[in-house]
Amino acid sequence: MNLTGKKAIVTGGSRGIGKAIVMELAAQGCSVVFTYQNSEEAAKQIEFEASKDDVKVLGFKANAASFQEAEKTIQFALENLGGVDILVNNAGITRDGLLLRMSEQDFDNVISANLKSVFNYTKAAIKPMMAQRYGKIVNIASVVAVIGNPGQANYVAAKAGVIGITKSNAKEFASRNINVNAVAPGFIATDMTAKLNDKQKESMLANIPIKREGKAEEVAKVVSFLCSSDADYITGQVISVDGGMAM
Ligand code: NAP
């Protein structure tokens, strides 16, 4: 894989899987604008660690749930990197709870951050990609989108939507040389899964044939492959990185 000279946008790149994706793309020679919502200090540190001679890595504070802020991010990337070749829609949140107790706000917020964000960034980035007749879009879904999970109706609905929009967009943009795929991580060690209690973690591990949590870097490698020319003939697919959890 070689992404020398490519220009990417990664949403939610300040921590966890998003940070690993930023670091991996930069290591492959790709310049990156990544967004975050709160983690200003962490963003500065990533800029410092990942930038090198021909690789610019820049953080940009933007709420992925806002279409206007998505447009501002694309503008920032066009001005500072000179184009957009790759878009990774990674930003996401959980607000878990059984449906009977789930508030309308927790449902709406999870749909906005995980699903509407994919619409926002794809719509904002697609014009420059279509004009240059080149683009790679990778959406981060989740294994639960296909198997369901009690206590996560909002999150599972959002991630199932991410798979749907991935397939529709793959069909819409294939003729413009734009590939759209999804990666579905399983149980990956990040701040998001650190919130689970021991019982929830044990029950997750019991369903993973490989018998361990995944690493953010293991997801990032697959994302980077899908962003490379090695994956030119792959579109509309959902690639699981889940230790065999869903098969
Ligand atoms: P994480 O550690 O909680 O990190 C989330 C990242 O997204 C942070 O950089 C955060 O920014 C950013 N973010 C959240 N809401 C945002 C918003 N509205 N606008 C902009 N940025 C926002 O999560 P993670 O585990 O790395 O998850 C990354 C993606 O993988 C998510 O889409 C998640 O659903 C998916 N996923 C994770 C797992 C897992 O096991 N960890 C499994 C399947 C799928 P701040 O730092 O500024 O808050």
Q: How much is the pLDDT for 65?
A: 98
Select which of 36, 121, 134, 155 is catalytic.
155
- Is residue 18 predicted with pLDDT exceeding 90? yes
pLDDT digits (tens, 9 = 90+) for 112-134: 999 999 999 999 999 999 999 99
- Is residue 71 predicted with pLDDT exceeding 90? yes
* Whole-number average pLDDT of the chain: 97
| C-alpha closest to that of 52 among 74, 31, 72, 79 | 31
Atom nearest to 39 CA in ligand 1: 47
Entry pTM: 0.98
C-alpha 196 – ligand 1 centre gap (Å): 15
Q: How much is the pLDDT for 200?
A: 86
Q: How much is the pLDDT for 117?
A: 99
| 196-234 CB burial, b ≥16 within 10 A, e <16 | eeeeeeeebeeebeeeebbebebbbebbbbbbbeebeee
- Is residue 226 predicted with pLDDT exceeding 80? yes
Residues with CB under 6 A from ligand 1: 11-18, 35-39, 63-65, 90-93, 113-114, 140, 142, 185, 187-188, 190-193
- The predicted model gives 76-85 an average pLDDT of 98
Q: How much is the pLDDT for 1?
A: 73
Q: Which helix (H) or strand (E) holds 22?
A: helix 16-27
C-alpha 173 – ligand 1 centre gap (Å): 26
- Is residue 227 predicted with pLDDT exceeding 90? yes
Q: How much is the pLDDT for 99?
A: 98
In the 8-state DSSP scheme, what is residue 16?
A: H
Q: How much is the pLDDT for 32?
A: 98
pLDDT digits (tens, 9 = 90+) for 102-111: 999 999 999 9
pLDDT digits (tens, 9 = 90+) for 151-195: 999 999 999 999 999 999 999 999 999 999 999 999 999 999 998
pLDDT digits (tens, 9 = 90+) for 21-50: 999 999 999 999 999 999 999 999 999 999
Cβ–Cβ under 8 Å, residues 177 and 135: yes
Q: How much is the pLDDT for 101?
A: 97
d(CA 113, CA 209) in angstroms, rounded, equals 30
